[in-house]
A and B are shown apart, each in its own frame.
Chain A
Amino acid sequence: MKKSIALTLLIAGALGAAASAHADPRARFMAANCAYCHGPDGHSRGAVPSLAGLEAKYFVDQMKAFRDGSRPATVMQKHAMGYTEAEYEALGKWFESHK
């Protein structure tokens, strides 16, 4: 019993370390897709809003609102249609954790 818990912890620890070492490279790459308009790491240099530090839930809600048209947009409806809801979540998490 004890042994198996220790083993589980060991494995979880190793996985955790591995995961944080290359924390979701796909989310990181997709977040970088946004940079040419929203700035490197989500820090905009112009009129387009920054994404860095946004709350994940707010980010996801906005993407859904762009997709269904309830938030008016210029380019964003097209971009929202190009990603899945799971990807909105992954992107939201990434921007939330990068201030």
Chain B
Amino acid sequence: MTIDRREFLKVSAGAAGAVTLSGLAGCATTSVAGGKAKVIVVGAGFGGSTFARYMKMWSPETEVTVIEPLGQFVSCPFSNTVLAGTNKMEDITMPYDYIKKVVDNWVTDTVTAIDNEKRTVTTAGGKTLAYDRLVLAGGIELLFDKVQGYDAEAQKTIKHAWKASPDQTGVLRKQLEAMPDGGTFVMSVPMSPYRCPPGPYERACQVATYFKKAKPKSKIIVLDGNPDIASKKGLFLAAWKKHYGYGTPDSMIDYRPNNMPRAVDAKKMTVGTEFDDVKGDVINVVPPMRAATVCGLAGVRNGNNGSWCAIDYLTFESKEVPNVHILGDSALTNFPKSGSVANNTGKMCAYAMSEMFAGRQPDPSPVVTNTCYSAGSDSVAFHVATVFRWDPEKKALVPPKGANGVSKEESELEMAYMESWAKNVWADTLGLPENYNYTAKG
């Protein structure tokens, strides 16, 4: 009774002789000793929902509470096809009804404070909830103040559409529809690392596929902060050439590397880079980003100059604050920030935590994967696929030989697989039943 939790952890870890996994071994013991373990999950996106669903499956006795402000799940994957007009917002919007039934408590609210010592979270609605383990899966925070002029007023006109929602993706689609033929769409690519490395280049393809059909005299200017195409370069260049005249004087796409947007002017409709002011009829600037605001509340945004959250690869526990785990885009890893990775590492964290709660050690050599499709047009797609395995020397998850690569070329088959991937990852993340009526198409 007098022994404090931290001390207890050290003692029990010492007894077990586990040095690197010290905190974990101890916690497994404390949670069991303390009865039903309580886990709070902040954010019900790809990482948080998947974790919650699998945690209830693999450790049914654990009490799982999910806190999420949004009433429905809106998918970023496939949101570029809404810009193309292939799908509508409702096709990429899914209910939380099924995942709600799986967990013990669902709180529709936003976490506004975290007390690491007391192990409590507080919400905007004034609730304070206690946890044994906290899972932060809040996605990303967009840093508008890093782009001059991108204030609340400008944000009414200039959309990022990097968190899919009717007010972002939906409005951007309407702006593209309203743009006259012969107009210019200016879009940006943030500096790596950012959410979904191939996403911006896919966006260029998807807007181009719409323009080709509806406004063939229009242009797309891609302002990339990076020195080169950051993902699937050969495949995107091939798609741009094949479908949108890239490399010819008539190219629909004007790609400008090393062009970081530094300022926006929503009245003059310009984007300022180091070199010039670029004028557009529709402007889509994705500002720099970092781990979700909620990670800042817990003090776990300690990696990469305070941008992302350093984690222990075997458990996704913060390297800074014990009992706090970070999933999805917020984590600092060598994985791409994708929905597939958020889904897969959500399961990995549930696996590690359920083992710990059962009084065992987490798997010392886990395997996780990424499979990420991009649509080059309205009928073809291509992929990057990687398996990451624990490497005891590098103390990281790295791909074995041959377990990493991209498509040889785009294909219609891969578009069918991309559509299938979306339906399966949505089902797996949100617990959608087998007869769920999907309307999205590839």
Which residues of A come within 8 Å of B, CB atoms?
A: 22, 25-26, 28-30, 32-33, 35-40, 43-48, 74-75, 77-79, 81-83, 87
Contacts and interface: CB of A to CB of B under 8 A. Distances in A.
Given A28-B58, A33-B369, A48 B387 contact: no
A26 B425 contact: no
A29 B347 contact: yes
Contact of A47 (B383, B404, B419): B419
A45 B420 contact: yes
B363 A40 contact: no
Contact of B371 (A37, A44, A83): A37
B180 interface: no
Interface stretch (B29-37, B283-291, B395-403): B395-403
Interface stretch (B131-139, B234-242, B348-356): B348-356
A72 to B, nearest CB: 11
15 contacts: A26-B363, A28-B58, A33-B347, A35-B424, A37-B371, A37-B424, A39-B427, A44-B424, A45-B432, A48-B417, A48-B421, A48-B424, A74-B417, A78-B402, A82-B369
Contacts of B438: 45
Across the A-B interface, give the 6 residue pairs with the lowest CB-CB distance, nearest first. Answer: A82-B387, A46-B420, A81-B402, A82-B403, A45-B423, A75-B385
Contacts of A26: 363
Contacts of A32: 54, 347, 351
Contact of A25 (B355, B388, B427): B355
B428 A74 contact: no
B343 A36 contact: yes
B389 interface: yes
Given A74-B383, A81-B403, A29 B420 contact: no
Count class of interface residues, chain B: 35 or more
Given A29-B347, A44-B420, A78 B428 contact: no
Given A36-B428, A39-B428, A78-B402, 11 more contacts: A25-B363, A28-B58, A29-B351, A36-B425, A45-B438, A75-B417, A79-B369, A81-B401, A82-B369, A82-B399, A82-B400
Given A22-B358, A33-B347, A78-B385, A40 B400 contact: no
A26 B363 CA distance: 7
B367 A30 contact: yes
Nearest to B373: A75
A83 B434 CA distance: 28
Contacts of A28: 58
Interface of B: 54, 58, 339-340, 343-344, 347-348, 351, 354-355, 358, 363, 366-369, 371, 383, 385-389, 399-405, 407, 411, 413-414, 416-417, 419-425, 427-428, 431-432, 434, 436, 438
B24 to A, nearest CB: 15
Contacts of B404: 78
Given A33-B367, A39-B428, A81 B421 contact: no
A40 B367 contact: no
Given A78-B405, A82-B399, A45 B348 contact: no
Given A33-B344, A45-B436, A46-B421, A78 B367 contact: no
Contacts of A48: 417, 420-421, 424
B427 A45 contact: yes
A74 B355 CA distance: 34
Contacts of B421: 36-37, 46, 48
B424 A40 contact: yes
A83 B403 CA distance: 9
Contact of B428 (A35, A47, A79): A35
Given A29-B348, A81-B401, A82-B400, A36 B424 contact: yes
B384 to A, nearest CB: 9
Contacts of A87: 367
B358 to A, nearest CB: 7
B434 A45 contact: yes
Nearest to B388: A82
Contacts of A29: 347-348, 351, 363, 366
Contacts of A22: 358
B5 to A, nearest CB: 26
Contacts of B343: 35-36
